[in-house]
Structure 1
Amino acid sequence: MAPAGLLDMPSPTAAVGITGVPRVAYWRNELNCGRDTLRAAFFARPDTPRLVREQTWLTDRVVRGVWRECGMPAGAALLAVGGYGRGQLFPHSDVDVLVLLPVTMSPPADAIERFFAALWDIGLELGHAVRTIPECESEMGSDVTIRTSLLERRLLEGARPLFKRFSRVFAANLDVRAFFAAKSLEQQQRHLKYQDATYNLEPNVKESPGGLRDLQTVLWIARASGLGRTWRELARHGLMTMTEARAVSRQERFIGAMRVRLHYLTGRREDRLVFDQQAALAEQLALRDTPGKRASEALMQRYYRAAKLVRQVNTILLQNLHARLHPAATAPVPIDSEFQSVDQLLDVRDEDLFARRPAAMLDAFLAVQRDRNLK
């Protein structure tokens, strides 16, 4: 269902321009008016999940309209990939698209050039590629970033049979264990870039440890593993509890709202929570200085609590996903009457242990201290 604020817009097939010539001024106006409507709605009643969905719907409408007006050949397919494919466009996110061509088709260079140029002129921050299915196979086999982007593909326009064929090829070529290893290494390298610290003074709400990327990494691996695309689905597969799923969703919404406000505040794709923006965001959220604490400090304390939970969830869920993808090679080794080692991971012998005896949590720390090989 289209968002209510956009229902009054004419359909992309209405008032179509000359075949092969996209109406850049028309679509630019539609995009800007839609963005203004979404911004006003967000500040009137902040709702980050709704905003990123409606931002995606608005962008879909513009991109599809331009595709049709450029006279693209019927055998080609237009795919949304990455965050755009996922349906989560923040106000100044990149819009990543893939033009998928059959091997037998000569690339329609003029039409493709008009299409991409029009989208740039309209005001979209575009990331684009033109490939055949074999070229996608080759690229995703050597580049985990491309593999991840294609994981979240979505057909926008064009040949559905070609899209379905590509989806089958993608699934057949996806080595889930290798994907897990590559994404884990990618996360380690990203964390090192930020000194592996959750409490940076000017954190990047997307990339820093405890940021949105840590949550996306878990969901990418879960999706590739067939274990769910949402926190509720992960809970239904036994990777977390429903209480934990609700808690992480709340923190995801909070950090996501910080990112939305940063984009609107700076007028660009800015994900760093620098000192000047901290004060401005605190003011937006009606936080006030107190005798013992500045408003910006109260904001950052709230952010650090959210980031801490995100990082904890990321660590636990990656361990749980690893255990699903790599079943224990050996039988559990008892440590005492309450704990055991499963492939060098500390485990309880009774799932109700901590509920029955909360003090056992302290014993778990002692067990790890006694055996440094345990994790």
Structure 2
Amino acid sequence: MAWSKPIAITQGDPAGIGPEIVAKAFRDAPEVLQGAFVVGDCATLARALACIAQPGRPQVAVQRIGQLAQLQQLQHLPPHSLPVWQLPGLVEAAPWGAVSAEAGRAAADCVVWAARAALRGEVAALVTAPLHKEALSAAGVPFPGHTELLQAEAARHAGVPLAQMPVRMMLANDELRTVLVSIHVALREAIDAVTADNVLQSLRITHAALSRSLGRVPRIGVAGLNPHAGEGGLFGREEIEAIAPAVARARAEGIDAQGPHAPDTVFMRARTGEFDVVLAMYHDQGLIPVKYLGVDKGVNVTLGLPLVRTSPDHGTAFDIAGRGVADAGSLIEAVRMARALSNG
């Protein structure tokens, strides 16, 4: 292999498009996927290979499942193999497009195994295919998504309370990066989360992560919460009472943070090069601009973890699962970014 440690890719919810975009990525971008393997179920991945088969097109890039008994086998698998680390007890052939506890449990188990392998230093990075939040809940998993589950695993590994393992979500493509103060909470709760402490913590995490990946101090544009960034208190006081004080404290620490700026223009300013990243106050404020630019290139990166984790910026797409038409572009970019971050 060209790399000392492999990258683990979780299969995602087996009822969604995760397994088939993983199979497509290995088929269509073998140079990017070299040294990577899938954590999941062999039967599920074999079904995915079958669903992406195209009549009349030679399937030269991936022809068979290569089940791994140890990670060192990766470099010795036969050519055109899809390497899979088989976890015991995973559901096989979950019905396409159906929410189920069994599928949610399978997706969660793959993430937990891969996260623990990364925390032990056995893999260089973790790339997660999409899971379904309803299926996760049905399985009794006490976390709403990947980010929170990985945060809990990292805190457990470090032996610290969850509050001492703060994480943030960054969504990035080749035109724009955005980091979120809050992630998967109701909008009313997201507004309450805009405190000086939370904004400052977000700025610190963003500064530390991007300083490592960019090799310099990042320029952070901070979005306001309210229209026109509050217009001097006319449309809300969060900018005056929480966001601006956090920016001032961050700047005193040497963080290049500017704002708060009007949310309807700060993303355009970042896209044209004024900022390296935008700190958004809540989920949709930050993710809509990035996703509008195209989900095929967007990558989700979890900042603040003692491991590298990336994922595509789309969901399970139950409506098209099993048809072989899902685009693997975002997953391929997630693997590419995981490689860059883990080697950085």
User: TM-score, normalising length from structure 2?
Assistant: 0.26
Q: Which has the higher strand share?
A: 2
User: TM-score, normalising length from structure 1?
Assistant: 0.25
User: Which has more radius of gyration?
Assistant: 1
